[in-house]
Amino acid sequence: MSLDDKLKSLRENGIDEAKRAQRLQELNDLRVNLLGKKGPITKALRGMKDVPAEKRPEIGTLANNVKKDIQQAIEEKMSELNEKMVAHQLEEEKIDVTLPATKQVQGTKHILNQTIEDIEQFFIGLGYEVAPGYEVEEDHYNFERLNIPKDHPARDMQDTFYLSDELLMRTQTSAQEGRDMEAHDFTKGPLKMISPGVVYRRDDDDATHSHQFHQIEGLVVDKNISMADLKGTLEALCRHVFGDEREIRFRPSYFPFTEPSVEVDVSCFNCGGEGCRICKYTGWIEVLGAGLTHPNVLKMSGIDPNEYSGMAFGLGPERFAMLKYGINDIRDFYLNDVRFLEQFKGVN
């Protein structure tokens, strides 16, 4: 058989084998066996030495065409097999879109976050700024700037976690007051701020106490601030949180950083003031502490108490949430029990 006949026969057989292949591996094997360096086409071309010189270009062109034709047949078959494979895979893995989707459990903001954000938005609407402050605070700002020197007995009520002699985990967000009074430019208007955040005290955890809890401290400093301003602000807050019919009352109290100081009670939102288990049959519920800023606190911030006065108040979001939603144990806020948390989806 002549060399050109051998090459034509190899082309015919190669194309035929490519068409009959059923797997991609068969086509890869065919490519290597026919077109590789040790394949029959390469071996056949070794007989070129016996071909007359004038026919060698023709045989060379034929050999190249044979390789191209076989390569094309293999690629066409590969494309066909790939299409079949993709079609089969799509058939096997198709999704019935008429079936109901798997229900995804959606979480919600923690009830404490909802309560804090609701109170923040209330005060932002009154023109207050939000200043969260630092959880690791200096003794100077946490106590001394609040009129609580190192030997003051009020420190015993706020025993806390000390990191050094001068650094501690803050016991109250009131610590931010000194920083804000220092930085504020009173030529541009009054200082109105709230400071929400976590505070720490050495306390025994039980249904109503925790060594770690939240607090929102509020402060206003301006000319002619009075108890009337304080009462009007807190009455609006209590009506916002507990209902439009609420009234508040002040009871004399003591805080080192305010003078005069008061405990603030709100009329019972459960019985309307008639007396029930929630208000201990008094018609009133204690909700926060407040007062007019002590002159010493203003002086330590470089503010003249003869020209400026201030009001301050501190409330606990946990207490507000417990009263509003009838929660009996403060520890429920921190246990991450989904059965408890899911009861408060979008309550604010």
Residue ranges for the known binding site for Mg(2+) are: 259
CA distance 13 to 140: 95
Asked whether the beta carbons of 207 and 328 are under 8 A apart, the reply is: yes
Q: In this structure, how many other beta carbons lie within 10 angstroms of the beta carbon of residue 41? A: 20
DSSP readout, 167-207?
EEE-S-TTHHHHHHHHH--GGG--EEEEEEEEEE-----SS
Asked whether the beta carbons of 289 and 260 are under 8 A apart, the reply is: no
Give me the half-sphere count of Cα atoms (radius 13 Å) on the Cβ side of residue 96: 4
What's at 198, amino acid-wise?
A: V
Question: In Å, how far from its chain's centre is CA 303?
Answer: 39
**Cα–Cα distances in angstroms (integers) from residue 152 to residues 3, 157, 158, 217, 299, in the given order:** 113, 10, 11, 21, 18
Q: In this structure, how many other beta carbons lie within 10 angstroms of the beta carbon of residue 336? A: 9
What's at 225, amino acid-wise?
A: I
